[in-house]
């Protein structure tokens, strides 16, 4: 049965946000069907479980909020990003990197990370530190790579545990597996447990601060130009992201935990989005087609990791 026109429009708008395509199947999603291996993670991994869940929608907002607190990361976004002129293009680019690294074969995942690294090579400049001195930065600096990796990992696992439940293998398994993405992006010795991840983020506290650039970015993240069909739902998701942040970082951002039940209402909004988008994303659909092809080419329909074929 066809969806009502307003719902179909809302669905298309959401898919454009995440993939750049109103059907959710741009070329890079269809390319997930190609390749000769399962990728860096594969079925049964904690990364697959977390990144295929609808709470990743909130994780993206939470990660971007946290990212703004590092003055080097914020300077790069402020000086080089087109998020004001092309907010959906920037979001779709981030989603493309995450999903390709997660679901594609190893060659495509490595190429996606290399593509982002090349872009980072042009992002450089200076910013004023808390004591007023001028600090040079480059997006490929070790501390910035580490900061971005850690806040993304924290946002994904934190959002999944808040709205998706415990990870089957535990949060340590997710952090340990996703460390591979950090290595592919050039990070040396990324955290491999939840405790190490929390400690790594806390180690940045002396550097983190809120200034006019952060306040501008937070205002934009609160009300991006998404249109009437998606805007109200987004504002609930934003509030949920704020409510899910640890107190220390929420206070650094100058944000208050909403007085209304933002966590519960965000859960309802996420369930609505899952019903609207369908039970399985197009990226996972094309990935399963690749795995089915690989399993069919092996004796007994067994994947390269020895896992029985689970894609039928």
- Contacts of residues 279-287 at CB distance under 8 Å and 24 or more positions apart, as own/partner, are 281/24, 281/52, 282/19, 282/23, 282/24, 282/25, 282/29, 283/29, 283/32, 283/99, 283/103, 284/52, 284/103, 286/25, 286/29, 286/30, 286/31, 286/32, 286/33, 287/32, 287/33, 287/39, 287/103, 287/104
Nearest one of 96, 117, 283 to 184, comparing CA atoms: 117
The residue length of the chain stands at 312
pLDDT averaged per 10 residues, the chain (length 312): 62 64 79 95 94 92 93 82 58 84 96 89 80 82 93 96 93 97 95 97 94 89 76 89 96 94 96 80 92 88 43 28
Give dist(CA 68, CA 76) in Å, integer. 10
3-state helix, strand, coil in the chain (%, to 5): 60, 5, 35
> Taking the domains of the chain in order of start, what are their residue ranges?
39-277
Measure the N-to-C terminal CA separation of the chain; round to a whole number of Å.
Answer: 25
Cβ-proximal residues to 112 (8 Å cutoff; 6+ apart), any chain:
96, 97, 100, 101, 104
Confidence at residue 236, expressed as pLDDT on a 0 to 100 scale: 94
**Per-residue pLDDT, 119:** 82
């Amino acid at each position: 049965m066809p969806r009502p026109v307003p719902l179909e429009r809302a669905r298309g708008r959401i898919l454009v946000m995440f993939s750049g395509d109103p059907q959710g199947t741009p070329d890079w999603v269809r390319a997930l069907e190609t390749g000769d291996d399962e990728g860096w993670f594969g079925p049964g991994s904690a990364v697959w479980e977390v990144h295929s869940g609808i709470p990743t929608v909130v994780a993206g907002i939470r990660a971007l909020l946290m990212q703004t607190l590092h003055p080097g990361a914020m300077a790069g976004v402020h000086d080089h990003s087109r998020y004001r002129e092309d907010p959906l293009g920037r979001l779709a680019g981030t989603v493309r990197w995450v999903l390709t690294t997660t679901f594609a074969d190893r060659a495509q995942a490595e190429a996606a990370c290399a593509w982002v690294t090349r872009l980072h090579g042009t992002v450089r400049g200076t910013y004023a530190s808390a004591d007023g001195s001028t600090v040079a930065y480059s997006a490929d600096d070790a501390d910035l790579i580490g900061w971005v990796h850690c806040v993304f990992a924290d946002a994904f696992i934190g959002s999944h545990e808040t709205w998706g439940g415990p990870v089957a293998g535990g949060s340590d398994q997710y952090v340990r597996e996703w460390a591979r993405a950090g290595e592919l992006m050039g990070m040396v010795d990324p955290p491999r447990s939840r405790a190490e991840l929390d400690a790594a983020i806390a180690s940045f506290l002396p550097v983190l601060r809120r200034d006019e650039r952060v306040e501008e970015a937070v205002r934009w993240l609160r009300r991006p130009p998404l249109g009437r069909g998606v805007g109200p739902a987004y504002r609930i998701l934003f509030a949920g992201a704020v409510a899910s942040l640890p107190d220390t970082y929420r206070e650094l951002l100058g944000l208050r935990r909403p007085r209304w039940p933002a966590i519960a209402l965000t859960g309802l909004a996420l369930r609505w989005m899952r019903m609207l988008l369908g039970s399985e994303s197009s990226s996972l659909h094309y990935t399963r087609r690749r795995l089915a092809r690989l399993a069919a080419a092996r004796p007994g329909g067994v994947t390269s990791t020895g896992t029985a074929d689970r894609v039928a």
